């Protein structure tokens, strides 16, 4: 399955780990880490191990197909995204009706901010996007 290799690399660098050190930390072999970073493909087992060692949700490792760079306002490449999908207190259900997961939980967003102009964009999580096609509340335009 696909994995966000860019995020794996970023988190590894933030920890100042070599590929070998990451392999040891998450109990995978070096070849697996190399394949994940190079081919952006990982087994569910590997994704679980990585999510655990980086202390993130396994969904955060899902490959994000949405285009976040450059900034849609000023075309800057200096874009920052929050490391995890986050719930926006109280608004999730209203902004993305019908796409929240679970009866009481809110739809999750990934905030992305442009360093240069401050433009903020919110991306719906893959989990929420996966529900769009089968939803009675949303229609493709």
Minimum Å distance from CB 111 to Zn ion? 14
Q: Give the dihedral of Cα atoms 128, 131, 135, 140; nearest 10 deg.
A: 80
The residues, any chain, with a CB within 8 Å of residue 54's CB and separated by 6 or more, are: 11, 15
Q: Which of 114, 123, 125, 128 binds Zn ion (CB under 5 A)?
A: 114
Contact between 96 and Zn ion per CB under 5 A: no
Contact between 115 and Zn ion per CB under 5 A: no
Binding-site size for Zn ion (CB under 5 A) equals: 8
Contact between 74 and Zn ion per CB under 5 A: yes
Token pair, residue 73, equals: 């306002």
Write the DSSP symbol of residue 72.
T
Contact between 66 and Zn ion per CB under 5 A: no
Contact between 77 and Zn ion per CB under 5 A: no
């Amino acid at each position: 399955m696909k994995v966000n290799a860019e995020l794996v690399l970023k988190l590894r660098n933030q920890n100042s780990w070599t590929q070998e050190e990451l392999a040891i930390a998450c109990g995978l072999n070096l070849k697996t880490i190399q394949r994940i970073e190079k081919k952006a493909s990982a087994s569910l087992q590997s994704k679980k191990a990585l999510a655990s060692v980086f202390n993130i949700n396994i969904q955060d490792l899902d490959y994000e197909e949405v285009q976040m760079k450059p900034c849609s306002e000023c075309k800057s490449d200096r874009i920052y995204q929050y490391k995890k999908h986050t719930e926006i207190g109280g608004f999730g259900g209203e902004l993305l009706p019908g796409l929240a997961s679970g009866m009481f939980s809110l739809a999750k967003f990934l905030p992305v901010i442009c360093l240069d102009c401050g433009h903020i964009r919110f991306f719906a999580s893959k989990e929420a996007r996966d529900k769009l096609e089968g939803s009675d509340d949303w229609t493709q335009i």
